[in-house]
Amino acid sequence: MGPFRIGVPAALCIIALVFPLAAAHAASPRAYCAQAVNDDQLRPAPSSLAGAIKRLFNLSGADALQTTFYRCADGKVMLCNVGANLPCGKANLSKSLDGATAWCKDNPNSDFIPMVATGHDTIYNWRCLNGVATPGAPIAKVDSRGFFRDYWKALK
């Protein structure tokens, strides 16, 4: 027997299962998210969403599409426009950060650890206590999928 082969009926079943989601994603984010329900992959916003993006984020100019991503949550299209301190990826919930630990070695009693050391994706306010990086109270909330709640807006 040669290489593994699947019959035509099996191949058609595979295509039928995969193609609807792929076709919906290509057609419109709304249709894709309605079928996918939850998809945490950040996708570039298509030009069809330009007007909505400008309204939701109070933006003007052509670069709004280049700085906006979408994902699916509970069947809805969610949009995020990145900025210098606005990460669209999942929040870092860790209570131990290598950068913060390194900062505290050089600044053992610092009451503040800058984002250059902690990263922009942490939800905590950090400080050093006797050379130990210590997370304080959360300074940001996350949604049920682990993304920063304040940075994501539902497409209306």
Q: Where are the domains of the chain?
A: 31-86+145-154, 98-138
Predicted structure pTM score: 0.77
CA angle at residue 111 from 109 to 115, to 5 degrees? Answer: 115
pLDDT in tens, the chain (156 residues): 444 444 444 433 343 344 444 444 446 999 999 999 999 999 999 999 999 999 999 988 778 889 999 999 999 999 999 987 789 999 999 999 999 999 999 999 999 999 999 999 999 999 999 999 999 999 999 999 999 999 999 998
pLDDT at 27: 60
pLDDT at 85: 79
Tell me the C-alpha distance between 84 and 95, whole Å.
23
